[in-house]
Amino acid sequence: MTSANMRIAGLISAQLYSAHYGGMASSRIVQTLEATMQIDNFETAVITVEFMAKALFRDSHGRRSVTVAIIAFRVRHDAPRLAYGYVVPYTFRLLQNFQFHSSSSAKTGATRDVNAINRSRISAFFQLKEASWQLTQAYALMFLPFSLPLDPRSFIAALIHCRNPSHIKQVHALAIITALIENLGVANKLVYTYAQHKSMADAYTLFSEMRVRDNVSWSVIIGGFAKVGNHGCCLGIFREFVRSGLLMDNYTLPFALRACRDTLSCRTGAEIHHLVYKFGLHSDVFISAAIVDMYAKCGQVEHARKVFDKMPKRDLVTWTVMISGYADCGNPEESLALFVEMNESGVLPDKITMVTVAFACAKLGAMHKANMIHEYIVRRKFSLDVILGTAMIDMFAKCGNVDAARAIFDRMNGRNVISWSSMISAYGAHGHGKEALELFPQMINSGIRPNRITFVSVLSACSHAGLVEEGRHFFQTMEKDYFVEPDVKHYTCMVDLLGRAGLLEEANELIERMKVEKDEGLWGALLGACRIHGNLVLAERAARRLLELSPRNSGYYVLVSNIYANAQKWGEVANIREIMSDSRVKKTPGWTWIEINNKMYQFKVGDKSHPQSKEIYEMLKVIVDKLELAGYVPDTNFVLHDIDEELKAEFLYTHSEKLAIAFALIATAEGETMRMTKNLRVCGDCHTFTKIVSSIAKREIVVRDANRFHHFSKGSCSCGDYW
């Protein structure tokens, strides 16, 4: 140490020493100590502090005051060079002489001082960027030689700043050593902190060892398991909680209801609903919202609505949950009606609500309602951020207006990989393969890296547009250039692309080579291609695998029946029908929705429920007569019954989309675009029928089926008969 530094240290020490014996105020002493901490030379500072310690430890008042500054000094100078074995011995050496007066009042004051120092310094240590966990551990351990009761709040302060389970375990160990683990607040905080770091094994071990538990204890452990997705443990512990006899509250019940929702355990959810009434919590907004959410996600939308209607007060979250429930359960019309009711009740939507409403409108496919939602968003000045903008792209695309979807895409405040993928998918679904592929390099140039969903969208666009070479290129380069390993969805797109192009052997070879597990979507794509090209051998192979994987899907039985019917193998068609009957598999009925004058109308095969049914069938006969004059011949291969050809034709005439078209010709103005949604794939005969109608009636007809969009105009379809 240089003579100059020695002189500085000596002067400060002498000043403090004389000031103390002259009655200098404790606050002034601490100020001087804090000035000492600014000495840049570490060696000088150490000697100075040691001089101060010797000078001030002679008096309890000064002793307590200076301890705070000494600890702060150690943090400032030791944290960057911390060595656990260096800090602890030094701190012990300073504090070994730190003895309190024997009077009870002095002990009480000392305890209070140490606890105050303990809490404040533990918190301060964590807030220093360079401080490490060992420093806090050393600081906590330095109090162990004293027989002073530690304050539980000190442990809670430390737990707030724990950064990983290792840190929590060190505080946990210290709590055991000091017996503070018996403090319910400390134990609950430890369980909570373990749960926050997803260390549920440690959380449950501690929870199971607790001799006393309160509602907080149960809520924390139940909520922890719910948040990590371990719903079995969540509900199991909840049952223990019920048996414990403690009163239910609005913290524990929502977690248990969330577990029921995520596991679709409607029966357990109903039991919890009964408990809610038993404990008089049915008027609680949070619990009622959780019950509505649980029933809605479990498909029990009627039960959800009953709870919703009985709620004395409904917040925005509850309205949004109910709107989403209707959309998820296939009732988007009711979803949109509820949105209108919400606005009329004075509850204004937020961005999440509008995303939910856009999703419902997308499922409905109603263009007029899509325009209304867009106008509402503009009027309320919602920002077209990534979440809402992407939802709007999907809504307009599924309502049949890909140009409006692109306009939203261009106006978005920011785009991520999901936004780009959605726009590519929208173009692909509408048969605009070229536009879809043009977006891909634009996305790359904007700095966005494609992911697996992007390549599903790209390959699907290639499939819908018949772009075989382009599809091969993207499939071969996705892993090599973009490090995206193909999964079963990418293989399915390729099988669909190759199969539709008639390259069935290449599609079959690709299936044989693939290393990922094959699913029903893959075999379904191959079977669909076999139907188009009449390959009975491959079709039977694909059908066997399909019916093994998904024996309850009626659509696959119908597809196999179509293939046998095309081959005039009526015995096999009868066998398929018998298998369906024995397995109690019912054919999904075909439905068509059409929007006319801002209202949605629904038709099924042979439907006569509409008030204008007589006029509809009369118009249908007029259309058929005109089409037959134009050369239309019904494709009776799509009738799966071995009956007379004339009866087959009559059966085809009553398909739901034909009835919808006939009604639209009656109810809409000349030249007005027809927009329809079909729940199944459009059959070949209806596809031909609609093409000719678009030419004779001079109408554009937009049909959204289970696979894609068809834009019929002037006798042709945007799919190029490739669907």
Lowest pLDDT segment from 66-75, 261-270, 422-431, 439-448: 66-75
pLDDT of residue 143: 41
pLDDT-derived band at 158, boundaries 50, 70, 90: confident
Which position has the higher pLDDT, 124 or 575?
575
pLDDT-derived band at 680, boundaries 50, 70, 90: confident
Decide the pairing of beta strands 709-713 and 701-704: antiparallel
pLDDT of residue 534: 84
Which position has the higher pLDDT, 321 or 141?
321
The one-letter amino acid at 85: G
Q: Report the alpha-carbon distance of residue 209 to residue 195 in Å, rounded.
A: 16
- 457 within domain boundaries: yes
Q: Is it the case that residue 348 has pLDDT exceeding 90?
A: yes
- 201 within domain boundaries: no
Question: Last residue of some domain: 565, 582, 599?
Answer: 582
Containing 467, the helix (H) or strand (E) segment is: none
pLDDT of residue 630: 80
Q: Report the alpha-carbon distance of residue 150 to residue 144 in Å, rounded.
A: 9
Nearest-5° angle of CA 676, CA 681, CA 687? 70
- 692 within domain boundaries: yes
Please provide residue 334's backbone torsions phi and psi, each rounded to the nearest 5 degrees. Answer: -65, -35
Q: Report the alpha-carbon distance of residue 235 to residue 250 in Å, rounded.
A: 16
Lowest pLDDT segment from 160-174, 322-336, 370-384, 689-703: 160-174
Q: Is it the case that residue 255 has pLDDT exceeding 80?
A: yes
Lookup: tokens for 255: 């977690």
Note whether 648 and 596 are same-domain residues: yes
Q: Which residues contact 620 (CB under 8 A, 6 or more apart)?
A: 653, 658, 659, 662
Note whether 442 and 571 are same-domain residues: yes
pLDDT of residue 633: 76
pLDDT of residue 666: 94
pLDDT of residue 488: 96
pLDDT-derived band at 565, boundaries 50, 70, 90: confident
pLDDT of residue 355: 97
Lookup: tokens for 460: 């699907």
Give the rounded percent of residues in the chain with a pLDDT score beyond 90. Answer: 52
Lookup: tokens for 11: 């002067």
Lookup: tokens for 630: 């134009």
Q: Report the alpha-carbon distance of residue 151 to residue 502 in Å, rounded.
A: 78
Q: Is 362 helix (H, G, I), strand (E, B) or coil?
A: helix
Domain span at 456? 432-582
Decide the pairing of beta strands 674-678 and 701-704: parallel
Which position has the higher pLDDT, 134 or 519?
519
Tens digits of residue pLDDT in 174-208: 788 777 888 999 999 999 999 999 999 999 999 99
From residue 117, how far is each of 35, 124, 153, 348 by CA, in Å? 19, 10, 12, 49
pLDDT-derived band at 639, boundaries 50, 70, 90: low
Q: Report the alpha-carbon distance of residue 400 to residue 53 in Å, rounded.
A: 81
Note whether 540 and 610 are same-domain residues: no
pLDDT-derived band at 51, boundaries 50, 70, 90: low
pLDDT-derived band at 372, boundaries 50, 70, 90: very high
Q: Is it the case that residue 245 has pLDDT exceeding 80?
A: yes
- 249 within domain boundaries: no
Q: Report the alpha-carbon distance of residue 37 to residue 45 in Å, rounded.
A: 7
- Taking phi over 0 as left and psi of -120 to 50 as alpha, with beta for the rest, 249 belongs to beta
pLDDT of residue 32: 52
Q: Report the alpha-carbon distance of residue 394 to residue 419 in Å, rounded.
A: 9
pLDDT of residue 420: 98
Count the Cβ atoms, other than its own, within 10 Å of residue 518: 16
Count the Cβ atoms, other than its own, within 10 Å of residue 36: 22
Tens digits of residue pLDDT in 109-133: 444 544 554 444 444 444 433 334 4
- 487 within domain boundaries: yes
Would you say how long the chain is, in residues?
A: 723
Q: Is it the case that residue 612 has pLDDT exceeding 80?
A: yes
From residue 26, how far is each of 21, 22, 32 by CA, in Å? 11, 12, 10
| Residue among 691, 702, 707 at smallest CA distance from 365 | 702
Q: Which residues contact 328 (CB under 8 A, 6 or more apart)?
A: 296, 297
Residue recorded with tokens 């937009």: 702
Question: Last residue of some domain: 551, 582, 613?
Answer: 582
Q: Is it the case that residue 94 has pLDDT exceeding 80?
A: no
8-state DSSP, 641 = S
Note whether 575 and 633 are same-domain residues: no
- 437 within domain boundaries: yes
Lowest pLDDT segment from 454-458, 473-477, 577-581, 658-662: 577-581
Note whether 597 and 573 are same-domain residues: no
Q: Report the alpha-carbon distance of residue 75 to residue 130 in Å, rounded.
A: 9
Q: Is it the case that residue 216 has pLDDT exceeding 80?
A: yes
Q: What pTM value is reported for the model?
A: 0.72
Q: Is it the case that residue 87 has pLDDT exceeding 50?
A: no
Note whether 459 and 504 are same-domain residues: yes
Give the rounded percent of residues in the chain with a pLDDT score beyond 70. Answer: 76
Question: Last residue of some domain: 582, 602, 618?
Answer: 582
Q: Is it the case that residue 514 has pLDDT exceeding 80?
A: yes
The answer to whether the beta carbons of residues 155 and 174 sit under 8 Å apart is: yes
Note whether 552 and 673 are same-domain residues: no
DSSP 129-194: TT--HHHHHHHHHTTTTS-PPPPHHHHHHHHHT--SHHHHHHHHHHHHHTTGGGSHHHHHHHHHHH
Q: What is the CATH number of the domain that holds 564?
A: 1.25.40.10
- 660 within domain boundaries: yes
The answer to whether the beta carbons of residues 668 and 693 sit under 8 Å apart is: no
Q: Is 674 helix (H, G, I), strand (E, B) or coil?
A: strand
Q: Is it the case that residue 15 has pLDDT exceeding 60?
A: no
Note whether 504 and 629 are same-domain residues: no
Q: Is it the case that residue 403 has pLDDT exceeding 50?
A: yes
Note whether 510 and 634 are same-domain residues: no
From residue 419, how far is each of 393, 394, 399, 544, 546 by CA, in Å? 8, 9, 17, 38, 33
Segment 552-580 shows an average pLDDT of: 83
DSSP 61-92: HHHHHHHHHHHHHHHHHHGGG--HHHHHHHHH
The answer to whether the beta carbons of residues 462 and 498 sit under 8 Å apart is: no
Q: Is 510 helix (H, G, I), strand (E, B) or coil?
A: helix
pLDDT-derived band at 517, boundaries 50, 70, 90: very high
Question: Total structural domains in the chain?
Answer: 2
**Which range is most confident: 3-17, 324-338, 568-582?**
324-338
> Please, what is the angle between helix 316-328 and helix 301-310, to 10°?
160
8-state DSSP, 634 = -
Q: Report the alpha-carbon distance of residue 503 to residue 566 in Å, rounded.
A: 20
pLDDT of residue 453: 97
The answer to whether the beta carbons of residues 122 and 139 sit under 8 Å apart is: yes
Note whether 569 and 490 are same-domain residues: yes
pLDDT of residue 50: 52
From residue 470, how far is each of 152, 356, 425, 431 by CA, in Å? 67, 35, 16, 15
* Averaged pLDDT score across all residues of the chain: 81
Note whether 660 and 560 are same-domain residues: no
pLDDT of residue 646: 53
Lowest pLDDT segment from 185-199, 364-378, 549-563, 630-644: 630-644
Note whether 595 and 678 are same-domain residues: yes
pLDDT-derived band at 566, boundaries 50, 70, 90: confident
- 69 within domain boundaries: no
Q: Report the alpha-carbon distance of residue 51 to residue 49 in Å, rounded.
A: 5
